[in-house]
Chains A and B, each alone.
Chain A
Amino acid sequence: DADVTQTPRNRITKTGKRIMLECSQTKGHDRMYWYRQDPGLGLRLIYYSFDVKDINKGEISDGYSVSRQAQAKFSLSLESAIPNQTALYFCATQQGRGEQYFGPGTRLTVT
């Protein structure tokens, strides 16, 4: 079984809809991250979390919110999706300052 899982893997939604992307990990890592990937722009940090009580904004947090429900779970929400949020979204985990481990990605399309 994968150490970092993301659901859904693909999602098409309409402008204005609320959508949640979920990330779960079995690695026991304390740090979790959400990134988005756009062609030509590379990966960018949306939010990160040290632990359940620690949530921090990244480079491009506008239009997104997150919830760290447990050490193993970190969800990303789009309160009112817009077309320029169409992207590939990755969750990643890290223990301390070690390597980061990425989930398989969620391909989100907002029409």
Chain B
Amino acid sequence: KNEVEQSPQNLTAQEGEFITINCSYSVGISALHWLQQHPGGGIVSLFMLSSGKKKHGRLIATINIQEKHSSLHITASHPRDSAVYICAVPGGGADGLTFGKGTHLIIQP
């Protein structure tokens, strides 16, 4: 079973700061998912990546397959970025996901 570790568990930052959330996993994978869960509970897929880097707006995700490590970066952070960010990898059968415990991010104005 793939073990997924995220760090930090909690992060509070000021508006405008550059944010980095890290994810490491134990078994080689075909792709890694980054998800966002807002206080209301809904989960949204941010990225699915298998190599290199992807960018969407102020969000950037990178992955190093050899190191079994991925990072999610937020540039020019804003209070609306406050959410739980979850890293997940296939491993639960039919690509059912195995999840990290999430990083609870708070951006203060």
Contact = CB atoms under 8 A, between A and B. Distances in A.
A42 B43 CA distance: 12
Contacts, number: 61
B101 A48 contact: no
B96 interface: yes
Interface residues of B, number: 24
A100 B94 contact: no
B6 to A, nearest CB: 9
A43 to B, nearest CB: 4
Interface of B: 30-31, 33, 35, 41-45, 48, 86, 88, 90, 92-102
19 contacts: A31-B94, A33-B96, A40-B101, A41-B101, A42-B99, A42-B100, A42-B102, A43-B86, A45-B93, A56-B93, A94-B95, A97-B30, A97-B95, A99-B33, A99-B45, A101-B45, A102-B35, A102-B45, A107-B41
